[in-house]
A = this chain, B = another copy of it.
Amino acid sequence: MKRLKAKIAYDGSGFAGYQVQPESRTVQAELMKVLKNIHKGETIQVVASGRTDSKVHATGQVIHFDTPLSIPMSGWLKALNVLLPEDIRVFEIEEADPAFHARYHTARKTYRYKWDRSSIISPFTRNYMVHVKQKPNIEAMRKAAEAVLGTHDFSSFCAANTAVVDKVRTVRRLEFEEHGEELHMVIEGTGFLYNMVRIIAGTMMEIGTGRRKASEMAGIIAGADRSLAGKTAAAHGLYLENVEYES
C-alpha cells in the first residue's frame, strides 16, 4: 500500500464545497468517484488539507489517499486528469511517507481573496472575484493588517456556530496586492478558523470603504466577539492557494 500526495486545483463555481454531502456535487465526491473507478469498484478515502465552502476555489489544495496499485506517477497524473471533470485538475502527484497526513500535518496555509475594482465587472470574472464599486483605501487596509498579524484569539473572525474551542491562531503574512483593477488580499497563517479569511476580508473592505476605521481592528480582535467584526465576504472571491507541511 502506498500513500500518494497530490496538489489539486478546482473552480469552486460548480461545487457545493469540497466535502462529500448527499445529493450534492462536491470535489471530494468527484475525486472518490474517479478513484473508485481506477480501483475497480473499491472505495478509496481521500483526505484534504481542509474543506472549502461552496463556491470557494483552490489553486493549491493538497490531498492524500492510499492505493495498492503500482502505477508510475506520470500515469497517475494522466489518468486522474483524463477521468476527472475539467473543473478539477491535478497538478502534482508524488509518493508520500506512509505517515503523511494532508490534514493533521499542515504547518501553514495561504489564502487569496480577490476583488475587482472595475466600474463595470467583466462577465468573465463574475464567479472569480467580488465586485467593489467604491475605490477602497488600501493604505487604511494595510494599517489595519498590522493589528491582525501575529498570534491572537480570533474569536471575532470565526463563524459563530463553530465547535472549535481553541481560537488562537497565528497570522504570519497579510498583504494587499494590486494587479490592474484587481485587488488581492493574501493571508498566510498556521491555521484558520471557519470563515476566518472571509470575515477578515469583509472587515477589511469595510475599513477600505470608510465604514470603519483602521484603528478599530485592534479592538475588534481584543473583544473576541463575532458581532464586533464585519460581514463575511462572499465565497467566490476566495482561493486556497498553498498548503505547507511540517518537514
Query: Which residues of A come within 8 Å of B, CB atoms?
Result: 9-11, 57, 77, 81, 86-91, 120-124, 126, 128
Contact B87 A9 (CB under 8 A): no
Q: Which residues of chain B are near A9, meaning CB under 8 Å?
A: 122-124
Contact A11 B87 (CB under 8 A): no
A178 shortest CB reach to chain B, Å: 19
A199 shortest CB reach to chain B, Å: 24
Q: Which residues of chain B are near A123, meaning CB under 8 Å?
A: 9-11, 86-89
The answer for the CA separation of A57 and B123 in the assembled complex, in Å, is 10
* Chain B CB within 10 A, most for which of A9, A89, A128: A89
Tell me how many chains of this kind the complex includes: 2
Contact A126 B91 (CB under 8 A): no
Contact B81 A11 (CB under 8 A): no
| Cross-chain contact of A81 among B10, B57, B81, B120 (Cβ < 8 A) | B120
Q: Which residues of chain B are near A128, meaning CB under 8 Å?
A: 124
| Cross-chain contact of A122 among B77, B89, B122, B124 (Cβ < 8 A) | B89
Contact B11 A89 (CB under 8 A): no
The answer for the CA separation of A124 and B128 in the assembled complex, in Å, is 9
* Nearest opposing residue in chain B for A86, CB measure: B126
A142 shortest CB reach to chain B, Å: 27
* Chain B CB within 10 A, most for which of A77, A81, A86, A91: A86
Q: Which residues of chain B are near A122, meaning CB under 8 Å?
A: 9, 89
The answer for the CA separation of A87 and B122 in the assembled complex, in Å, is 8
The answer for the CA separation of A128 and B125 in the assembled complex, in Å, is 11
The answer for the CA separation of A123 and B59 in the assembled complex, in Å, is 9
